[in-house]
Every structure is written in C-alpha cells, then in structure tokens.
C-alpha cells in the first residue's frame, strides 16, 4: 500500500499532514513524500521545511496519490514535468486524490475533465477552467478512483473516507479515535456560507 | 509574536502542524521549529522529516510555546536538558500550550502541578502522575496562560481559541475560514465515549 504525496515549495503543510496522519495507520502503508529532487522543500508560510523521501524519478507507481495544494500548487500549473509525472503515476493508482488547490494540479494534468470535483472555496473558477464541475461538498468521489477534498483541513475528512474504502469502517473509526478527531471548533465559521462578513473582510485585507 | 514549537524524534506530525497552520496567520507571527540540534527530526511514523529552524540553545524566550506529543514525548519525560529549557522558556511566555501527550512533557517539567489539564485519552493516568487533574475537555485553559489540548487533532481547535485570545474572534473566524475548517468526518468515533467497541478492539490489536 504505497501512498505518495508530492511536495513542492509553497505547498500548504496541513493539506499533506492532515491526511498523512490518518493514512499512515493503514496496514502495510508506505508513505512517500516525493519531490523534484532530494533537496528539502519549504511550505507556503516559509517556516516548515520537509525532507523528501524520494524524487519524482524514483516513483513510477502508487496505490494512492495524494496531491496537496497551496500557492505552490498554483505556481506549478504549467510545470509540464510535474503534470506528466502525475499522469503517469495516476495510470497506476487505485485512488488519485487531492486536498485544497491540489485539485487544480489534477485539473491541469487533465484528470478532472468532465468530472465533479471540489477545491478551496476561493479557487472555484480556476477549477472549472479545467473542465471540472465544482461541487460544494467537503469530499467529492468520482468514478475512476478520483477523490477531491475542499480546503486544507478537509483532507482529514477525506482520509477517513479513503481509509473506509480501503480498510473498512471499523478501521476508519479506529483511526479517527487514534487522532481523537472529535472536532469542537470554538466558532462555526469554516465555510463562506457560515463565516461572518467581518471575518471575510479580515481575510481579504491580509 | 514568536511562536516556538519544539520538535524531537518521534513527535506526532499533526500535533505540531495542525495548530501551526492556524497560528502562522497571526499578524507578525514568527514560527520556530526548535530542536536539540540543527539535524533533521523524524516523526513517530518514520516518514516525515522536518528541518529545525533553530536549536534549543538559540531560543531563550517565546510569546507562545506549543509542545507536541507522540511516542517521542513519552521518551523524553526524563530528558533534563529539554525539561529545563521548557521551564526557562515558559518563564518568558504569555501562553504555554500542548497538544496530545505534549502535556506529559509540561507535566514532567513541573508546569501542571495542581492544575487542570488534558491529554490524549490513552494517557490520562500518566498525566495525573505529574499532579495534574485530568479534565475531559477538548481544550483546557488555566491561569498563568497554560492551555492543554486533547489528542492530535485537538490542536486545531486549541489554536483557534488561542488566536481568539491573541487577536480576537474576528481573526480567529477568518483563520477558520482560510483553512476551511468545517469538519464533517464520515463517522462520529473521535472519542472513547463515541467510538464503537470494534474500533477500540482494532486499535488495541495494532
């Protein structure tokens, strides 16, 4: 069960680490953080640097491909080498997945054409520019094993669903218990429909 | 606003990265991943390796100290150098916080004696061995700026509360919207009280 997470400068850490923390518990899981080279990769905030465990050239197949988003994803939408690698690995996967704007990379690779998909709420138009039909759900499953998750933290929900698909509902619930995922945010502002206008204005002004 | 996250071999990645993804949005935030040396540090699963941005010796003060947990936290409960460093930095902080079994390190450092606190549900007895009164809440706030969070994913909820305390409710809601934290897990099994027995048995057998 090889689960490959491509990382690139400017990725969003939680997009990758949220689902990682769930999927690593799958029996026989081998988690791979793959990058262009062996050089460390720094996230979008600039504070978190991870050491890849493989290069793209090392990886010719995967059971699960999990593509994180972030400003770095947007900067790679015309990176032919990355997109070609994604297409080649996708041809071998059982599940090809994304978190947040990772779906834009799937779209740019031509993997979402004619499919329903989701992304971060701020990037709906760009997602649709790749021929995907934006669907306002936390996790969107499509034929062919393509699953996209909404923004950042949605990767945790997606990973639990993926664990259910791969290992069954008991395992998925065990993993949820292991990470004590009993969410109790102090506010209910996690989507544009729920957040107050002042919070949207604060974000827009950053 | 310097936010210092100590990392050590065997830490749980999501304990650190969940709150990191929220707190990095605080105005003027400087996030520091501090370790014993400049050498990369590998998490409990063995797949994720991060490059520290400072050594413990570099860091003599912080506004926020955020201590992650994991098997590596338990292995450091008698690490006098680490505990002494934590005490010295704590003396300078406004907020000293932990996620999951990071609270055991706070306890071992003597910072929880006589206080209410929480931890991962599996480590309640060990937490109480340090003189803390276990409190079954997702986030426990105490006088002196000490805040502990329950297991792994609870760090996200704690970080949103901390953002509210530091920057106010509008900012906290903006950060929640930015990471689209509108949790919709496919199951309701995130605590021992909610998880079915089969899931607990599955976890115990791993």
CA distance A10 to A24: 23
Distance from the B205 Cα atom to the nearest Cα atom in chain A, whole angstroms: 11
Query: Using the beta-carbon criterion (under 8 Å), do B100 and A180 form an inter-chain contact?
Result: yes
Which chain A residues contact residue B192 at CB under 8 A?
177
**Structure tokens, B181:** 């934290």
Partner residue opposite A21 with nearest CB, options B14, B157, B164: B14
- For residue A206, the model assigns a pLDDT of 87
Q: Which two structure tokens, joined as six digits, stand for B13?
A: 């990645």
Among candidates A50, A176, A185 on the partner chain, residue whose Cβ is nearest the Cβ of B187: A176
What pLDDT is recorded for position B105?
A: 98
Mean pLDDT score, A72-78: 98
The Cα B206–Cα B63 span in angstroms is: 39
Whether A194 contacts A188, CB under 8 Å: yes
Assess whether pLDDT exceeds 90 at residue A98. Answer: yes
The whole-model pTM stands at 0.97
Residue A32 has phi, psi (to 5 degrees) of -125, 125
| DSSP string for residues in A29-79 | -EEEEEESSSS-EE-TTSS-EE--SEEGGG-S--SEEEE--SHHHHHTTT-
Q: Chain B contacts of A184, Cβ < 8 Å?
A: 138-139, 157
Q: What is the pLDDT of residues B101-140, one digit of tens each?
A: 999 999 999 999 999 999 999 999 999 999 999 999 999 9
Mean predicted confidence (pLDDT) in B57-84:
98
| Cα dihedral B142, A17, A144, B186 in deg (nearest 10) | -10
Instruction: Tell me the angle at which helices B154-167 and B13-23 cross, rounded to the nearest 10 degrees.
Output: 30
Residue from the list B51, B187, B198 with its beta carbon closest to the beta carbon of A160: B187
Q: Of the candidates B138, B154, B177, which has its C-beta nearest A199's C-beta?
A: B177
Question: Contact B160/A186, CB-based, under 8 Å?
Answer: yes
Average pLDDT, chain B: 98
Domain containing B123: what range?
2-204
Domain CATH code at residue B19: 3.40.50.880
DSSP codes, chain B: -EEEEE--TT--HHHHHHHHHHHTTSTT-EEEEEESSSS-EE-TTSS-EE--SEEGGG----SEEEE--SHHHHHTTT-HHHHHHHHHHHTT-SEEEEETTHHHHHHHTTSSTT-EE---GGGHHHHHTTT-EE--SSEEEETTTEEEE-STTHHHHHHHHHHHHHH-HHHHHHHHHHTT-----SS--SSTTTS-HHHHHHHHT-
Q: CB B47 to CB A177 under 8 A?
A: no
Work out whether strand A41-42 and strand A49-50 pair parallel, antiparallel, or are unpaired.
antiparallel
Contact B179 A14 (CB under 8 A): yes
The predicted complex's ipTM stands at 0.97
| Tens of pLDDT, residues A152-177 | 999 999 999 999 999 999 999 999 99
Q: Do B176 and A183 touch (CB under 8 A)?
A: no
Catalytic residues of B: 100
Of A179, A18, A140, A19, the closest CA to residue B189 belongs to: A179
Residues of B in contact with A179 (CB under 8 A): 14, 151-153, 190
| DSSP code for A184 | -
Cβ distance A49 to B51 less than 8 Å, yes or no, reads yes
What confidence score (pLDDT) does residue B85 get?
A: 98
pLDDT of amino acid B70: 98
Beta-bridge mates of residue A3: A31, A64
**Cβ contacts of A150 on chain B, cutoff 8 Å:** 180, 182
Q: Check A45 against B31: CB less than 8 A apart.
A: yes
Count of domains in chain B?
Answer: 1
User: Which of B40, B178, B198, B201 to mutate: most A Cβ within 10 Å?
Assistant: B178
CB B50 within 8 A of CB B3: no
Confidence at residue A122, expressed as pLDDT on a 0 to 100 scale: 97
Yes or no, beta carbons of B189 and A177 under 8 Å apart: yes
B70, closest residue in chain A (CA to CA): A179
Provide the pLDDT confidence category of residue A33 given band limits of 50, 70 and 90: very high
Nearest-neighbour CA in chain B from A81: distance (Å): 24
Q: Which of B152, B179, B186 sits opposite A172 (nearest CB)?
A: B186
Lookup: tokens for B45: 């699963």
Tokens standing for residue A100: 């947040």
């Amino acid at each position: 069960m090889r689960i490959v997470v491509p990382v690139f400068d400017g990725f969003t850490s939680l997009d990758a680490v949220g689902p990682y923390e769930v999927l690593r518990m799958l029996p026989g899981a081998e988690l791979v953080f793959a990058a262009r080279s062996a050089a460390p990769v720094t996230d979008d905030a600039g504070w978190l640097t991870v050491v890849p465990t493989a290069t793209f050239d090392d990886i010719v197949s995967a059971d699960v491909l999990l593509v994180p988003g972030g400003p770095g994803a947007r900067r790679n939408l015309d990176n032919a080498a990355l997109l070609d690698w994604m297409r080649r690995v996708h041809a071998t996967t059982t599940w090809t997945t994304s978190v947040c704007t990772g779906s834009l990379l799937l779209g740019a690779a031509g993997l979402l054409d004619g499919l329903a998909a989701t992304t971060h709420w701020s990037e709906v138009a760009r997602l649709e520019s790749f021929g995907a039909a934006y669907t306002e759900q936390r996790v969107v499953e499509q034929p062919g094993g393509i699953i996209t998750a909404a923004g950042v933290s949605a990767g945790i929900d997606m990973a639990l669903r993926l664990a259910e698909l791969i290992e069954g509902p008991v395992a998925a619930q065990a993993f949820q218990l292991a990470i004590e995922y009993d969410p109790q945010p102090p506010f209910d502002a996690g989507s544009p429909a729920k957040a107050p206008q002042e919070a949207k204005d604060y974000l827009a002004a950053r």
